[in-house]
Amino acid sequence: MLVYQDLLTGDELLSDSFPYKEIENGALWEVDGKWVVQGACEVDIGANPSAEGAGEDEGVDDQAVRVVDIVDTFRLQEQPPFDKKQFVTWVKRYIKLLSSKLDGEKQEEFKKSIEGATKFLLGKLKDLQFHL
């Protein structure tokens, strides 16, 4: 299994077990996450609680929680939403930090594709959630 890490922090972000497709000339990856239920699981083993002396209120009090599988798997933390000005400021800083980590050819390729990717994200900003 391949695990993809953030070049700046070294944090694990994704693995090849999640389907993704490259968009905006490879500058962005679109990953299909799924809602999954985590927590409470009702298991019927054939026992009769009333015959065993247990009442309706006895037993495990688990609470089921719906989570996005990718967010849960990689323990990503949701970030506060950006307005357009905050997002542009964040992207400029990200570009500067990431560019220094790339060699010449990849750096130029990144700088060419990130502009289109930024415009794409700005157009969908209100529909996005950010996780780190």
Three-state SS for 101? coil
Name which residue leads in pLDDT, 64 or 117.
117
60-90 pLDDT, tens digit per residue, is 556 788 999 999 999 999 999 999 999 999 9
Q: What CATH class does 3-38+70-131 carry? A: mainly beta
**What average pLDDT score do residues 7-31 get?**
91
Residue spans per domain, the chain: 3-38+70-131
Total count of residues recorded for the chain: 132
d(CA 102, CA 4): 16
pLDDT at 41 (0 to 100): 64
CB-CB contact of 32 with 18 (8 Å): yes
Q: Which of 31-40, 71-80, 120-129 has the least mean pLDDT?
A: 31-40
pLDDT at 43 (0 to 100): 62
Question: What sign has the CA pseudo-torsion 69, 21, 25, 10?
Answer: positive
pLDDT at 32 (0 to 100): 86
DSSP single-letter state for residue 26: T
Q: State the amino acid at position 104 in one-letter form.
A: G
Helices (DSSP H) in the chain: which residue ranges? 69-73, 84-99, 104-123
pLDDT at 51 (0 to 100): 58
CB-CB contact of 63 with 55 (8 Å): no
Where do we find the tokens 């990717």?
A: 117
* β-bridge pairing 3-5 and 130-131: unpaired
The share of the chain scoring above pLDDT 90, in percent, equals 60
DSSP strands (E only) in 26-64:
28-31, 35-38
Confidence check: pLDDT of 18 > 70: yes
37-51 pLDDT, tens digit per residue, is 987 666 667 666 665
Name which residue leads in pLDDT, 55 or 104.
104
Q: Is the pTM of this model over 0.85?
A: no
